[in-house]
Structure 1
Amino acid sequence: MSVRGGMLLHQSVHSSNLRSVGYDELGCVLEVAFHGGRLYRYDKVPAQVHAALMAAPSKGTFLAQFIKGQYPYRRV
């Protein structure tokens, strides 16, 4: 299922923490929406990192270990 995030079309994910994930391959922009309503945009995220996030058994753990603190971000 796709849902509208910030500016990107999001895909719903099975996660206790994350609600949906959107990705712009051309701009290397990753958006992450949380169940609590927060939305964050991460810049300069390579396509292979997005693919790994989507394939990870725990999306929240992957985000914490491999994305947070590694890429510039802002709350949207």
Structure 2
Amino acid sequence: MRTCDLADSSLISGAAYDEEARLLCLQFREAGCYFYFGVPRALFDALCAAPSPGTYFNAHIKDRFRFERDPRRRRFGPKARRG
């Protein structure tokens, strides 16, 4: 598992990448953790090196890969499911 700290990004606080599974995990500051499937390692490396990780994400990852929200994260707010 490879990781990078994106402390200077206003959108993403950190990223982790599993090369064998080609799985990218992004920790968004406001929205929590999302998993992106089938991501090449080169995109992870470029995201970590980008001057603006948020801009890089929007241009090269967002809407290009299947993703899921971390199922362990509970939703809050008006659309939250009530138990």
TM-score, length-scaled by structure 2: 0.76
Aligned: 1:33 with 2:60: no
Structure with the greater alpha carbon radius of gyration: 2
1:12 is displaced (CA, Å) by: 1.8
Structure 2 CA distance, aligned partners of 1:50 and 1:27? 13
Figure out how many residues of one structure are paired with residues of the other and give that number.
Answer: 69
- Alignment match, 2:48: 54
Q: Which runs of 5+ in 2 are unaligned?
A: 71-83
Structure 2 CA distance, aligned partners of 1:11 and 1:37? 18
Identity within the alignment, %? 32
Structure 1 CA distance, aligned partners of 2:4 and 2:50? 14
- Structure 2 vs 1, CA of residues 57 and 33 (structure 1 numbering), >3 Å: closer, same or farther? same
AA aligned opposite 2:53:
K
Q: Which runs of 4+ in 1 moved over 2 A?
A: 8-11
Q: Which runs of 5+ in 1 are unaligned?
A: 1-7
Bigger strand share: 1
Deviations 1:4-50 (A, max 9, x none): xxxx6743212011111000011100000011251100000001111
AA aligned opposite 1:42:
Y
AA aligned opposite 2:55:
T
TM-score, length-scaled by structure 1: 0.82
